[in-house]
């Protein structure tokens, strides 16, 4: 069982990017914890970050995985292309946001992604990724 974790634009700056909103954990910290938990649960995890929409579409389509965890970051609110790629591959997918997108600016309340994923976790910080790993295991066991 393999999980692919995709991080969208600007998430490479976690740790220093608006720490009051996104916390102090770096992307490396998150990936380390995700990979360790996946292993603990008997799965493998690969993490991928890109600032480019096309590269994210290519990863959704082309990488090998059983379940997807994706924080599309700003593309959440704009990308029909990422939505269509997730729908096209038809594998279980969980959308994660570090901040609560429903509690911020109006434009962040719309997710182009939420209509094609299994579920969405928003506002629980780094813990959201770890909950998504646990949920992936349960979904793949069904
Ligand atoms: C985010 C929320 C998005 O609105 C924002 O553009 C991000 C990060 C989050 O994890 O809270 O870059 O996806």
Q: Domain limits of the chain?
A: 2-141
pTM of model > 0.85: yes
Sign of the Cα pseudo-torsion (100, 102, 103, 108, in order): positive
* Per-residue pLDDT, 104: 97
* Per-residue pLDDT, 16: 96
- Kindly give the number of the ligand 1 atom that is closest to the alpha carbon of 104: 4
* Per-residue pLDDT, 90: 98
Nearest to 132 by CA among 77, 95, 101: 95
Average pLDDT per block of 10 residues along the chain, 142 residues long: 98 97 97 98 98 98 98 98 99 98 97 98 98 98 95
The CATH label, of 3.30.70.360, 2.40.10.220, 3.40.50.9100, 3.50.50.60, for the domain at 2-141 is 3.40.50.9100
CA angle 87, 91, 89 (to 5 degrees): 45
- Residue 90: how many other CB atoms lie within 10 Å: 8
Cα(14) to centroid(ligand 1), Å: 11
* 101-121 core/surface letters (b: 16 or more CB in 10 A; e: else): beeeeeebeebbbeebbeebb
Provide residues with CB under 6 Å of ligand 1.
10, 71, 73-74, 76, 97-99, 101, 108
Side by side, which strands form the sheet with 44-49? 44-49, 2-7, 67-71, 93-97, 119-122
* Per-residue pLDDT, 53: 98
């Amino acid at each position: 069982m393999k999980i692919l974790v995709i991080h969208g634009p600007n998430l490479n700056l976690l740790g220093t990017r608006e720490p009051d909103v996104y916390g102090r954990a770096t992307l490396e910290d998150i990936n380390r914890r995700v990979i360790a938990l996946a292993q603990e649960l008997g799965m493998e995890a690969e993490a991928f970050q890109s600032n480019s929409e096309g590269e994210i579409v290519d990863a959704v389509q082309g990488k090998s995985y059983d379940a997807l965890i994706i924080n599309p970051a700003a593309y959440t609110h704009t990308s029909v292309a990422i939505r269509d790629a997730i729908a096209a591959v038809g594998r279980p997918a969980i959308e994660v946001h570090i901040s609560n997108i429903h509690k911020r600016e109006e434009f962040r309340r719309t997710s182009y992604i939420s209509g094609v994923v299994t579920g969405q976790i928003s506002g629980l910080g780094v813990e959201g990724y770890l909950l998504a790993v646990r949920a992936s295991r349960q979904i793949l066991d069904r």
